[in-house]
Amino acid sequence: MEHKFEKLQERIGYRFKDRRLFERALTHRSYANEHPDQPDNERLEFLGDSVLNLVVSDILYTACQDATEGDLSRRRAHLVNSSALGRIARQIDLGDALLLGRGEISTGGVAKTSVLADALEALIGAVYLDGGYIEATRVVRAVCSEQIERVVNDQTPRDFKSELQELLQSMGQTPPVYSVLEQTGPDHDRRYVVAVKVPGSTEQTVTGSGSSKKQAEQTAAQQLLLQLSATATP
């Protein structure tokens, strides 16, 4: 395990002064339950979540001078959500150094996105306590470099459903309602058609299609956004 700890420190470019803090960041509660003398990483996860949000907000605020508050929030959300953090944790092979209980290991805990994302936040929290904000920022920039570049350059997929809801809210209208109209094809090639409608309006109803319900909803929301924008344009 010592070798795995050393390799992880090399991968994140930071060497801990307090070894116990480093080990705690990597200790899942399932391991702590089997080893009462070893505290789990949940308190560090709580701290790391806040540190990560601050560091990313700082980076985006400085790099995206023309972005609005809503735009900055959207970009940050693409980087600090569980799925994104899980991918980053896999890139640095964080799971290889995790301390998991026997039960968690047997159920594939080392590959679970939630476990990896939580551990990454705990690791960032530990770096902050061990080395301060500057070191925490440096580590975040190092391990999230590709993701940061994408959000700074706004190369992230748009969330049309959220944009539609925000637009309708600004117009004083009720949230949209989505319904599946059609579901065709075999399991490996499913196709969905979804309708989106603004309650109280018989005119503002459009459809979208996709290979998943989520994708079809996004397409329908995009179409309704275009329709509403065209209506609002003088």
* Residue 99 β-bridge partners: 27
What pTM was estimated for this model as a whole? 0.69
Once rounded to an integer, what is the mean pLDDT over residues 139-166? Answer: 84
What pLDDT does 201 receive?
61
pLDDT at 230 over 70: no
Closest alpha carbon to 118 in 30, 11, 7, 9: 30
All domains of the chain in start order, with CATH: 2-152 (1.10.1520.10), 160-232 (3.30.160.20)
- What pLDDT is recorded for position 211? 85
pLDDT digits (tens, 9 = 90+) for 25-53: 999 999 999 999 999 999 999 999 999 99
Q: Which residues are catalytic?
A: 49, 121
The per-residue pLDDT for 234 is: 45
